[in-house]
Amino acid sequence: MDLVAGKLMSEAVPLFLAPMAGVTDLAYRLLATECGADYTLTEFTAASGLSRKEAKSWLKMESHPMESTFIPQIFGGDKEEMVTTVEMLQDRADIIDINFGCPAPKVCKNNAGAALLRDPDKVVNLVRSCIDASNVPVTVKMRLGTGGIPNTALEITKRLESEGVMRVCVHGRTLKQRYSGEADWKSIREIVESVSIPVIANGDVVDSESAQMCLQSTGASGLMIGRAAIGRPMIFYDIKKNMGWIDNDPPWSVDNPVIARRWCWQRYLELCSEVYPSGGSKNSKRHAISFTKGLPGASAMRVDLHRAKNHEDLGEMVTSYLEQLVDKLAH
């Protein structure tokens, strides 16, 4: 990797928006795609709810013709529930992703998510059953291991390659770490060099410089970005531009973070009106907070959000706040 004409240079790889509860709703996935994400995943959703046809769970599985590649992510430890869910999703999904990376206690206590990494045999058997039931490709997202025993991700990835998994994404932390400490990119490289299927690196990619370092350290076939993309979907454009992978101007026209956030927020509202019958997402308030985080006067503005009576009020309050910031920049 080199620095050419002020740009970080490396071979272009796909960028993924990580599946995140309360974040990666349909409108936000479409927004991230417009900002440069190559692939996006739904909020991770329990197979227990989907297999029982619970309406709340299926709301997370919404897609739209504008979504070119629909990738639902599911989790669970019960093989029958997982297979049933795969069978229910396969006619609408382009790819089905299985989560073995979630560290949330409420998920792990039910022997799902990252907790399953303590039992490679169960992971492999579960994924094998899902592959056998599916007529679309199956991918897997995992952590390095549980942290209480030697890491199992390398063994599991090798075995999943033999089972026919299309690709794996590895978060360079253990279950025990959750989101503390640093991502272990060296361990991801060991996995990359041990298999032929694509391995996507996840963890601590927060800007163009860290993207370059992650690719250099891991040799991964792509990067998945999670927390750094919350309220900042423009990170995908920024990485591609600064890495020299694209040379087009951004949708927001001006290289200014406040103007970029204003454009992204307004576009998110437009997408909500296009894809949701109610005109708003269940995650709108969370996104409103994320889009304004760290900006001048944002704390006071967020207090005012509690007065919003509906999606329209919420949208107008945040839009007005961002417009005022942009006006201040112009004077």
The answer to whether 177 touches 204, Cβ cutoff 8 Å, is no
Packing angle of the helix pair 185-192, 153-163 (nearest 10 deg): 30
The answer to whether 100 touches 138, Cβ cutoff 8 Å, is no
Integer Rg of the chain from CA: 20
| CA proximity to 76, closest of 29, 113, 120 | 113
Packing angle of the helix pair 311-330, 284-292 (nearest 10 deg): 10
Q: How far is CA 20 from CA 15, 16, 129, 314, in A?
A: 15, 12, 25, 22
The answer to whether 160 touches 140, Cβ cutoff 8 Å, is yes
Decide if 130 is catalytic. no
- Residues in Cβ contact with 174 at an 8 Å cutoff, skipping those fewer than 6 apart: 114, 143, 144, 145, 146, 147, 151
| CA proximity to 225, closest of 244, 242, 208 | 208
- For residue 192 the two structure tokens come to 């990359």
* Ramachandran category for residue 239: left, alpha or beta (phi over 0 → left; psi -120 to 50 → alpha): alpha
- For residue 179 the two structure tokens come to 């989101």
Active-site residue (options: 102, 108, 169, 214): 102
**Residue at 5: amino acid letter:** A
Q: Enumerate the active-site residues.
A: 102
